[in-house]
Amino acid sequence: MNHLPVECPRCAFEDISRLATSPVPGVWDVLQCGRCLYTWRTSEPARRTRRDAYPDSFKLTVADIENAIEVPTVPPLLK
Ligand SMILES: [Zn+2]
């Protein structure tokens, strides 16, 4: 297995799984965080793939995730 990042760029969780790999081996992988489900391709820029470059305003903490239980309801169908 190729090198996987040690932590999620968004929430810093360390359980990262590989969802897909490039048809040409070794070009990119699609990775997903086991906690916040953030998903990224390794060929994306550092601001999407590295915790230290990820924008602070989009980073999540455990408290953020636990409090993110509000899911907007689907509005009634239009008549
Ligand atoms: Zn995460």
Q: Evaluate if residue 5 carries a pLDDT over 90.
A: no
Centre of ligand 1 from the C-alpha of residue 71, in Å: 19
Centre of ligand 1 from the C-alpha of residue 6, in Å: 11
- Encoding tokens for residue 20? 């897909």
pTM of the model: 0.78
Tell me the HSE value of 64 on the side-chain side, using a 13 A CA sphere: 10
CA dihedral 48, 54, 56, 57 (to 10 degrees): 0
Centre of ligand 1 from the C-alpha of residue 26, in Å: 23
Cβ-based neighbours of 16, under 8 Å, separated by 6 or more: 4, 5, 6, 7, 8, 31, 32, 33, 34
Quick one: pLDDT band at residue 54, thresholds 50, 70, 90?
very high
Q: pLDDT for 8-44, tens place per residue?
A: 999 999 999 999 999 999 999 999 999 999 999 999 9
Sheet with strand 16-21: strands edge to edge: 16-21, 29-33, 39-41
Residue 18: per-residue pLDDT: 95
Residues, Cβ < 5 Å to ion ligand 1: 8, 10-11, 13, 33, 35-36, 38
Centre of ligand 1 from the C-alpha of residue 14, in Å: 8
